Amino acid sequence: MILLKDIYKTFNKNTHFQKKLYEGLNLKINKGEFITVIGSNGAGKSTLLKVLSNDLDIDSGKILFGEKETTNQKSFETAKNISYIMQDPSANTLGAMTVYENLSMSELKGKKTVLKKCLIDKNKDKYKMLLSKFNLGLENKLDIDVSLLSGGQRQALAIVMATLKLPQILLLDEHTAALDPITSKEVMKITDNIIKENNLTCLMITHKIQDAIDYGNRLIMIHDGKVLFDISGEKKEKLKLQDIIEKFQIMKTDIVGSEIF
């Protein structure tokens, strides 16, 4: 479905801070794959999502969605087919608008129209049903400004917004990292259900190794811009936490903090 072919990317070119990150990166993403992405800090995980969404230019290489090359697309054009949820809950929603208005905006994705045409009362029942799955009380807050919601509620809203119109690929950049443990588990569980129910193609970056093992049907580990470990299917199902820790130890990466586990 999606192919990154011979991708090169250097940051801070021709300066003392120059860093060559990708030097011929290749990655094939098949339709319906839920890929969890792990790796050390600065390995190139978030950069991978930014390259896919055209939020970051590459030096050379090709990005293909099916038969269509999107390498030089503007990010707003790519956004028609991609949903991207970032770690910061405030970055994924419009705080000055209500929950209802935010959801209605999502209905506009890829359309040339105005918001008021999407503010249709019949949609409210659909929105309430989708929001109620998170058990966060959002279904009763449709007319509340999003700025008044908790971080967990905003991320739950972002997930519903991102999947109202099913994207070609869903990109999740540590989307539960800023949440408390209980809310994080609830949001992660519903995220997994939505992906499975709709057979979505998804890349999810996480520093929580156990989540990387428990969710998805493929796992990749990135280090210094290279895919060092790529496992899927039955082999991934048998993967244990110790297996991943050993991979990190091989990379001589220090694992610090209980959240990683």
- Please tell me the predicted confidence (pLDDT) of residue 258: 39
Confidence of residue 261 (pLDDT cuts 50, 70, 90): very low
Confidence of residue 260 (pLDDT cuts 50, 70, 90): very low
Residue 256 has pLDDT above 50, yes or no: no
- Please tell me the predicted confidence (pLDDT) of residue 25: 97
Provide mean pLDDT across the span 182-195.
Answer: 94
In eight-state DSSP terms, residue 81 is T
Residue 129 lies in a domain: no
Residue 104 lies in a domain: no
- Sequence-separated contacts (24+) of 65-69 with Cβ below 8 Å: 65/1, 65/2, 65/168, 66/1, 66/2
Q: Mean pLDDT of all residues in the chain?
A: 90
Neighbouring CB atoms inside 10 A of 148's CB total 12
Residue 111 lies in a domain: no
- In DSSP terms, 202 is beta-bridged to 34, 170
Residue 96 lies in a domain: no
Q: What is the DSSP string of 121-145?
A: THHHHHHHHHHHTT-SSGGG-TTSB
Location of structure tokens 């610090």 = 256
| pLDDT tens per residue, range 106-117 | 887 766 666 666
Closest of 95, 88, 106, 100 to residue 146, by C-alpha: 95
Residue 103 lies in a domain: no
| pLDDT tens per residue, range 117-136 | 666 677 899 999 999 999 99
SS3 readout for 38-68: EECCCCCHHHHHHHHCCCCCCCEEEEEECCE
Residue 210 lies in a domain: yes
User: How many helices and strands (H and E) does the chain possess?
Assistant: 9, 10
Residue 174 sits in a domain of what CATH number? Answer: 3.40.50.300
pTM assigned to the model: 0.91
CA-CA distance, 28 to 259, in Å (whole number)?
A: 29
Residues listed for the chain: 261
Burial of 60 (0-12, 13-18, 19+ CB in 10 A): exposed
Residue 93 lies in a domain: no
CA-CA distance, 33 to 200, in Å (whole number)?
A: 7
Residue 146 lies in a domain: no
Distances (CA, A) of 217 to 47, 153, 165, 196, 223: 22, 27, 23, 10, 20
Query: Containing domain of residue 178, as a range?
Result: 2-81+167-260
- Please tell me the predicted confidence (pLDDT) of residue 110: 67
Q: How many domains does the chain have?
A: 1
